[in-house]
A = this chain, B = another copy of it.
């Protein structure tokens, strides 16, 4: 029996339930009544699109540690809001100047640059608002740890820092360690952060926590390596965004640095690393985390 087929099937069922819950929670928390069109721009940026990988990672990690379910949904949605805000700001003319995302006009095209800037800013604040409910649903200590993890994943040591390296590296020949350092921050930090936020909804021991950190780091980097591969091997329709964009923008990628076969081998190595970390976590059920890592690496390449 092919275990991959079985796991892929399980993941689809597992994901469908959780994705519906995530969409419902996002729709409740990203409010339309924010003033002067801001609410509409925020909802447009967040709802009806995206693979929701970060929420799924947070929820899967929380389940593996038998975490607080209310906290896990808040962690999942907060991570997605940070991701959504980064896309809004990335797409702006002074950054990547993208006019389409997921087949729709980008936020600044639809609502204007000023509103896009504000919507991104407000989404970042909203992420921390969601993590700090006034009711007693999430213990205060857990709220604080979640805020700390998210701030560090989003900020200068994480996503924003990676974006700055990315900006500065166009047209440069980065070494492999430099490229890894950029990707670990730019996309890896929030993916790993999502896993760690999920873990922080429970009380894993240090062995499990370290293993989940290793899983998150390997999986986060694998995601970016595969993205680099797909930019070359997939067409725009499959990808849902413009293929060949990295090369056109003269951005350093794993494929430009290592070539396609070695990049594909590296992605598999990172998947093995992520799965090995789960094996040593001493957690009883990491099936969904394992299946998500496989899904990330075995997309279309």
Interface residues as binary, A100-137 with B (CB distance below 8 Å gives 1, 0 otherwise):
00000000000011110110111011111101101000
Bound state CA distance, A130 and B221, in angstroms? 27
Q: Are B122 and A161 in contact (CB under 8 A)?
A: yes
A:124-168 near B, CB below 8 Å: 124-129, 131-132, 134, 140-141, 143-145, 147-148, 150-152, 154-158, 160-165, 167-168
A29-37, A229-237, A240-248, A289-297: which lies at the interface = A29-37
CB distance from A90 to the nearest CB of B (A): 9
Bound state CA distance, A86 and B117, in angstroms? 11
Q: Are B141 and A114 in contact (CB under 8 A)?
A: no
Instruction: Specify which chain B residues have a CB less than 8 angstroms from the CB of A148 in the assembled complex.
Output: 128-129, 132, 134, 143
Task: Specify which of B31, B39, B115, B160 is in contact with A38 (CB 8 Å cutoff).
Answer: B160
A95 at the interface (CB under 8 A from B): yes
Instruction: Specify which chain B residues have a CB less than 8 angstroms from the CB of A143 in the assembled complex.
Output: 144, 147-148
A192 at the interface (CB under 8 A from B): no
Q: Are B34 and A161 in contact (CB under 8 A)?
A: yes
Interface residues as binary, A12-53 with B (CB distance below 8 Å gives 1, 0 otherwise):
000000000000000000010011111100100000000000
Bound state CA distance, A115 and B120, in angstroms? 15
Task: Specify which of B112, B125, B161, B168 is in contact with A160 (CB 8 Å cutoff).
Answer: B125
A:74-110 near B, CB below 8 Å: 85-86, 89, 92, 94-95
Question: A39-B156, A141-B141 are contacts. A151–B167 as well, Cβ < 8 Å?
Answer: no
Question: A117-B89, A132-B147, A144-B147 are contacts. A157–B34 as well, Cβ < 8 Å?
Answer: yes
Bound state CA distance, A235 and B57, in angstroms? 56
CB distance from A36 to the nearest CB of B (A): 4
Instruction: Specify which chain B residues have a CB less than 8 angstroms from the CB of A158 in the assembled complex.
Output: 125
CB distance from A95 to the nearest CB of B (A): 5
Q: Are B114 and A128 in contact (CB under 8 A)?
A: no
Q: Are A164 and B34 in contact (CB under 8 A)?
A: yes
Bound state CA distance, A169 and B114, in angstroms? 13
Question: A114-B95, A117-B89 are contacts. A122–B155 as well, Cβ < 8 Å?
Answer: yes
Q: Are A151 and B132 in contact (CB under 8 A)?
A: yes
A-B contact pairs, 15 of them (CB 8 A): A31-B156, A34-B161, A35-B162, A36-B167, A42-B156, A94-B113, A95-B117, A121-B124, A121-B154, A121-B160, A132-B147, A132-B148, A134-B148, A140-B141, A143-B147
Not counting A85-B121, A141-B141, A143-B147, a sample of 13 additional A-B residue pairs whose C-beta atoms are within 8 angstroms of each other reads: A35-B185, A36-B165, A39-B156, A92-B94, A94-B113, A94-B114, A122-B164, A129-B148, A131-B151, A132-B148, A143-B148, A144-B147, A147-B147
- 8 tightest Cβ-Cβ pairs between the two chains A and B: A125-B155, A132-B148, A94-B113, A34-B156, A128-B151, A143-B144, A38-B164, A122-B160
